[in-house]
Amino acid sequence: MHLPFYQGPLRAGFPSAADDYLDQRLDLNEHLITHPASTFFVKVKGDSMINAGIHSGDMLIVDRSIEPKSRNIVVAVINGEFTVKRLLKSKGICQLSPENPDYPLINITDAMDFEIWGIVLHVIHSF
Amino acid sequence: MSQIFALLDCNNFFVSCERVFNPSLRNKPVVVLSNNDGCVISRSNEAKALGIPMGAPYFKCREIFERERIFVYSANFVLYGDISGRVMQTASEFTSELEIYSIDEAFLIWDGTHQNCLNNAQIVRERVKRDTGMPVSIGVAPTKTLAKAANYIAKKKSIDGVFCLLDEKTIEEWLGKTPVGEIWGIGHSKADFLKRHGILTALQLRDMPDAWIKQNLTVISLKTVWELRGIPCISPQDNRDDKKAITTSRTFAKEATNIDELYEPIAAYIANASEKLRSQRSVCGYVQVYLMTNRFKKETYYANSAGIDLTPPTAYTPDLINAAHKLVKSIYKEGCGYKKAGVILSNLQSQLSSQDFLFDESYQRSKKQKLMDVVDSWNNRHNTSKMFLAAEGMAQDWYNQAHKSKRFTTRWDELLEIICD
């Protein structure tokens, strides 16, 4: 059972307006998720984003409601396959960049069936 | 003040849910099967084009599924319910009143002064697609029946999935092209009867005299006809004969501020909905509950929904109430004033067809059904003093679903895995 912790000292007379706001324990959901309806959790396998701090086995918090901008880390779909990469956009050229020198840069062409599925906002890594 | 109704309807909802988490299914023929892999309950456009009928039994279609390389999925109602909640939550930002009609349909109610209906509907459609991945069609009109018809036209004819039936000329033109059987509330038997009397289009039905309708159809059909004329007369409480889902919801006169104040109305909605369920000799395989606070208090606005699979499917009120109460508990947030709550029973199956559950506990063979028959006949005879029951335990997960996708949004151990190389 959780007992609320009253901050104001007890006294007679009119109560302080601040007493209406009880301190709640911090909630990570509230801190990390602004749009619950469009936020999804996914798991990563592979190390192509290792230098961005995304390790194999990590969990990502992905928001679909945000307009993708250049340099965002995104969940993308290329020809029906998911991937996580850094989006680079300039002068009408669109690229997906890995964060690991062992992997190639991907140029997005008109021939590809390409879509940005969501923007990666946070990574959760367990040690 | 006059109102405008925008009916949002998810395109091939179950298949589209599968495609959100498996984009390789896009542009491919896909079907979703009912509980226990009985028959086809959702088809992608590609599967429709191959001539797979709705309701086709799986064992009869196996060969064509293999030959045509059709992707087959078992119903994953936990996933579908979660996506449904996300779609509804997104849509609720665009209206002061959202009337959820089924797992994949809702009316957005706009006041009549709303300009640019077409443009607004397009914005809603784009936002729902972007935020949830769900493709939807929207039909906009001055009555719900016309909005349903507009949605039908949007699905069939428009390129962008939005269609408005607002001015007299457009209404007349399109009702003339809409078969009478496609009109909301006109089922197969009524459509056949009307055809025999030479009434083939929605426009012909609209222009029939009231006296003829009353004499040959029902009072409810008269409401349908008036709605086709642009006079709104269908309220959320009207029982439409729709086999997809049964919904009960109310807006509270006084905001509910603690969970006990929600348990009671939710139990009452379930009792009401399950009575309808039994009256059409059905059982339901999925129950969903939603809660909303006052839309106009923006800073504290909260809306959420949750659902649960019922296996085997049931129409037993206590089981349903028990499930619904667990759901309320899971989404209830302290410190909110709840203005509206509702329940949706879906994944409906006839009591007969669900007999492929060869288990003693299955609803239709059990004492539970007899008990419910007694309760319903009592309640039918004694309209004022209804018989109530205390709750019982819930059924377990034990039957066969060979092609089920993961519960991507509700289980930590079933998250979408992205290969990142």
pLDDT tens, chain B, 421 aa long: 689 999 999 999 999 999 999 999 999 999 999 877 878 999 999 999 999 999 888 888 899 999 999 999 998 988 999 999 999 999 999 998 899 888 899 999 998 776 789 999 999 999 999 999 999 999 999 999 999 999 999 998 878 899 999 999 999 999 999 999 999 989 888 999 999 999 999 999 999 999 999 999 888 899 999 999 999 998 766 655 556 788 888 888 788 888 988 998 898 889 888 888 888 888 888 899 999 988 777 778 888 889 988 888 888 888 899 999 999 999 999 888 898 899 999 888 777 654 444 343 455 556 667 667 666 665 655 544 444 443 322 333 334 577 889 999 999 999 999 998 8
Q: Which residues of A are catalytic?
A: 48, 85
| Contact at CB, B416 and A38, closer than 8 angstroms | no
Q: In B255-335, which residue ranges form alpha helices assigned H by DSSP?
A: 259-279, 317-331
| B410 inside domain | no
3-class secondary structure, B250 = strand
Distance CA B48, CA B383 (A): 45
Task: Among B181, B213, B241, identify where a domain stops.
Answer: B241
Alpha carbons within 13 angstroms on the beta-carbon side of residue B131 total 24
Inter-residue contact B311 to B395 (CB < 8 Å): yes
* pLDDT, mean over chain B: 85
> A44: which chain B residues are within 8 Å (Cβ-Cβ)?
417-418, 420
| B179 inside domain | yes
| B119 inside domain | yes
Question: Within this chain, do residues B79 and B208 fall inside the same structural domain, yes or no?
Answer: no
| B82 inside domain | yes
> A81: which chain B residues are within 8 Å (Cβ-Cβ)?
23-24, 419
Distance CA B53, CA B18 (A): 19
Look at residue B205 in the predicted model and tell me its pLDDT.
97
* Residue A31 buriedness (CB in 10 A; 0-12 / 13-18 / 19+): exposed
| B212 inside domain | yes
B348-386 residue pLDDT tens = 877 765 444 434 345 555 666 766 766 666 565 554 444
Pseudo-torsion of CA A15, A16, A22, A28, nearest 10°?
160
Question: Within this chain, do residues B158 and B172 fall inside the same structural domain, yes or no?
Answer: no
Question: Within this chain, do residues B221 and B256 fall inside the same structural domain, yes or no?
Answer: no
Chain B residue with the nearest C-alpha to that of A44: B418
Look at residue B374 in the predicted model and tell me its pLDDT.
64
- Best residue in A3, A27, A30, A40 for a mutation probing chain B (most B CBs within 10 Å): A40
Distance CA A34, CA B156 (A): 36
Of A37, A42, A81, the CB nearest to B416: A42
φ, ψ for residue B175, nearest 5 deg: -60, -30
Task: Among B142, B166, B190, identify where a domain stops.
Answer: B166
Question: Within this chain, do residues B229 and B353 fall inside the same structural domain, yes or no?
Answer: no
For B232, the domain range is 168-241
A89-113 residue pLDDT tens = 998 899 999 999 999 999 999 999 9
Inter-residue contact B192 to B173 (CB < 8 Å): no
| Contact at CB, A45 and B417, closer than 8 angstroms | yes
Question: Within this chain, do residues B34 and B102 fall inside the same structural domain, yes or no?
Answer: yes
| B385 inside domain | yes
Question: Within this chain, do residues B92 and B237 fall inside the same structural domain, yes or no?
Answer: no
| B13 inside domain | yes
Considering its fold, how many domains does chain B have in total? 3
Q: What is the CATH number of the domain that holds B284?
A: 3.30.1490.100
Question: Within this chain, do residues B28 and B45 fall inside the same structural domain, yes or no?
Answer: yes
Distance CA B228, CA B142 (A): 9
pTM of the model: 0.77
| Contact at CB, B419 and A83, closer than 8 angstroms | yes
Q: Residue with structure tokens 């009072």?
A: B219
| Contact at CB, A44 and B133, closer than 8 angstroms | no
A32-88 residue pLDDT tens = 999 999 999 999 999 999 999 999 999 999 999 999 999 999 999 999 999 999 999
| B237 inside domain | yes
Tokens of B276: 């309808």
Question: Within this chain, do residues B160 and B173 fall inside the same structural domain, yes or no?
Answer: no
Inter-residue contact A84 to A74 (CB < 8 Å): yes
Look at residue B331 in the predicted model and tell me its pLDDT.
92
Chain B residue with the nearest C-alpha to that of A40: B409
Distance CA A61, CA B409 (A): 12
Distance CA B130, CA B127 (A): 5
Question: Within this chain, do residues B94 and B8 fall inside the same structural domain, yes or no?
Answer: yes
> A113: which chain B residues are within 8 Å (Cβ-Cβ)?
26
DSSP character at residue B64: H
Asked if omega into B312 is within 30° of 0 (cis), the reply is: yes
Q: What is the CATH number of the domain that holds B192?
A: 1.10.150.20
| Contact at CB, B420 and A46, closer than 8 angstroms | yes
Question: Within this chain, do residues B371 and B306 fall inside the same structural domain, yes or no?
Answer: yes
The predicted complex's ipTM stands at 0.83
Inter-residue contact B80 to B102 (CB < 8 Å): no
End-to-end CA distance of chain A: 31
Question: Within this chain, do residues B388 and B322 fall inside the same structural domain, yes or no?
Answer: yes
Q: What is the CATH number of the domain that holds B61?
A: 3.30.70.270
DSSP character at residue B57: B
Question: Within this chain, do residues B12 and B136 fall inside the same structural domain, yes or no?
Answer: yes
Distance CA A107, CA A97 (A): 9
Amino acid at B411: R
Taking alpha carbons only, the member of B46, B39, B4, B1 closest to residue B144 is B4
